[in-house]
Chain A
Amino acid sequence: MLNLPQPIVTFLCSTVVRDRFPAYLQVTKNGDLLSYGGACDRYGLNPLQLHQSIDDQIFFLAGLLPLQEAAMHIPFLQLEDDIIAEVHLFAEEQHDWVVFFDATSENEEHVLIQQKVNDLSLLRRKQARSLGHIIQSETVAENILDIRPAGEQKSLSILVIKCCNIEGLDDKTATSNPLKILDAYLSAISPSILDEGGLVHQNIGNSIVAVFGVLPSTRSSSMQAIDASVRILQLFEERQPPIGPSAQCALVVTTGMVTIGLLQVGFGKTLTVMGQPMDVAVNLNEHSIGGTLIIDKLTFDGLDQRQKSFRPASLAGSFMTESLCLYSYHPLQ
């Protein structure tokens, strides 16, 4: 079929097939076992009785046969304690076939990676939650965020994200619970900010304001803000739930000296950021359109090779545009 020389076929049979302990079952469309062979014992497929119902003998097959589609693949199936099988099911006109391979070692590798990924995801979540609690506590917030009680000047990057065209939020498509939809969007966006060392400063309507440079980092606040922005743009491009089919985001990043402090509001203190970069970011964001990332010159200057992904830009409608040197994001192909 593939016109392979015999030594190659022999090699493939011995390494790819034989060493993976293949076993097979042939099952009639009525669900009776017609034949079997190979290393069935390895997968605990015994004792097997021909011409008897397969569902009664191999319980994981219950409901799967006869196959509804041409083929089905289960990469990792644990039947016995220590053996993981890769299972292929495929249909012929008169029969269905079930083929088993030993996938124990491949599974071990996958588990190692997946375990690490899941552990890190849980850790990230725990840290974000702890940080939220810490910031609510005035004394600890002052220590962790390294902010003087009276406030101070600090160079930060401000990221404003505006969510547009969200189904269920627009006047035309408004649902009974738009806050829930907005909550889902903000929850989807926030991890990208936290992962890059930013803080979600506040939500204004359907916009989020995040600040970078408050928490200690080895990267410049500009680079943190840009990395978070690119991740958010990708999030909207991928359109994984809850991101709807028409939803877009408009992002603006500005950098510069701001006054940061903990302001007494009611019974608690909240993080307050004031200054021109904040005003500019909010103003520019009002005039920016979905799917764009606009940055100012100081942000641009703080980037490394990431500068190559930005081109000079202007923003129609903003009174600040003329006096500002702006750049827009154009990912390198």
Chain B
Amino acid sequence: MLQKKICMVGAFATGKTSLVARYVQGIYSDKYQTTVGVKIDKKVVTVAGQELNLILWDIHGEDEFQKIRMSYLRGSAAYILVVDGTRRDTLGTVFQLQAKVEDTIGKVPFITIFNKYDLSQDWEVGEEDLEELSQRQWTYCMGSARTGLGVEECFTKLAQMML
């Protein structure tokens, strides 16, 4: 079976761990628990008739104290940039991180997910932000680890991009 390493990358508290938990185990907790270091998970999926073993690296969020070690991304077949749609500055963080990741592992498929889409009253990401992503030709989707909206689709889309 083909193994594909996928890294979750983004600012702290954007919901990387929750997205993985929703995708792999189908569960969600409202309690925010920070990730220190790396959590590894896996999920076997079938895409276009091919079985894939997705190895998910849930890497701690980037903040002023914890910087993401780019060596963690070595061997990645793809990565997911996670933005908290209720904190527009987390989009700036993924712009910076994406450049660093590409410097480290080169051009591999990636997708941006705007998490917490269920919190529409607090939504900060605007049309012009999405326009910028389109100009950069980034693939993106809206999602919610809480409701499950868009999560499966996001991972499936990325898996398709890897094949």
Q: Do these two chains interact?
A: yes
List chain A positions with a Cβ less than 8 A from chain B: 55-56, 59-60, 62-64, 68-69, 72, 74-79, 84, 107, 110-111, 114-115, 117-119, 121-122, 125, 184, 187, 240-242
Neighbouring A residues of B61 by C-beta, 8 Å: 118
List chain B positions with a Cβ less than 8 A from chain A: 3, 5, 12-13, 32-34, 36-40, 42, 53, 55, 57, 60-61, 63-66, 69, 71-72, 74-77, 87, 89, 92, 96
- Closest beta carbon of chain A to B79's beta carbon, Å: 12
Neighbouring A residues of B55 by C-beta, 8 Å: 59-60, 62-63
Decide: A77 and B38 in contact? CB cutoff 8 A: yes
Decide: A78 and B5 in contact? CB cutoff 8 A: no
Decide: B36 and A110 in contact? CB cutoff 8 A: yes
- Max chain B Cβ within 10 angstroms of own Cβ: one of A107, A121, A240: A121
Decide: A55 and B3 in contact? CB cutoff 8 A: yes
A-B contact pairs, 26 of them (CB 8 A): A56-B3, A59-B3, A62-B55, A63-B5, A64-B74, A72-B71, A72-B74, A74-B72, A76-B36, A76-B37, A77-B38, A78-B37, A78-B38, A78-B39, A78-B40, A79-B40, A107-B37, A110-B37, A111-B33, A111-B36, A114-B36, A118-B13, A121-B13, A122-B32, A125-B87, A241-B92
Decide: B34 and A68 in contact? CB cutoff 8 A: no
User: Which residue of the partner chain B has the closest CB to A241?
Assistant: B96
Contact of A187 among B38, B66, B89 (CB under 8 A): B89
- Closest beta carbon of chain A to B75's beta carbon, Å: 2
Per the bound structure, the CA–CA distance linking A125 and B42 in Å amounts to: 34
Per the bound structure, the CA–CA distance linking A44 and B41 in Å amounts to: 13
Chain B contact residues: helix, strand, loop or mixed = loop
User: Which residue of the partner chain A has the closest CB to B95?
Assistant: A241
Decide: B65 and A74 in contact? CB cutoff 8 A: no
Decide: A59 and B42 in contact? CB cutoff 8 A: yes
Q: 4 nearest interchain CB pairs? A: A63-B75, A76-B37, A78-B39, A60-B40
Decide: B34 and A115 in contact? CB cutoff 8 A: yes
- Closest beta carbon of chain B to A170's beta carbon, Å: 21
Per the bound structure, the CA–CA distance linking A117 and B96 in Å amounts to: 22
Neighbouring B residues of A117 by C-beta, 8 Å: 63, 65
Known: A56-B3, A77-B40, A78-B38. 12 other contacts (CB 8 A): A62-B3, A62-B5, A62-B75, A72-B71, A76-B36, A79-B40, A114-B34, A115-B34, A117-B65, A187-B89, A187-B92, A242-B92
Decide: B37 and A59 in contact? CB cutoff 8 A: no
User: Which residue of the partner chain B has the closest CB to A60?
Assistant: B40
Per the bound structure, the CA–CA distance linking A52 and B57 in Å amounts to: 23
Neighbouring A residues of B42 by C-beta, 8 Å: 59
- Max chain B Cβ within 10 angstroms of own Cβ: one of A56, A62, A119, A125: A62
Beyond A55-B3, A59-B53, is A76–B38 a contact (Cβ under 8 Å)? yes
Decide: A63 and B72 in contact? CB cutoff 8 A: no
Neighbouring A residues of B96 by C-beta, 8 Å: 241
Neighbouring B residues of A118 by C-beta, 8 Å: 12-13, 32, 34, 61, 63
Per the bound structure, the CA–CA distance linking A63 and B40 in Å amounts to: 14
User: Which residue of the partner chain A has the closest CB to B128?
Assistant: A180
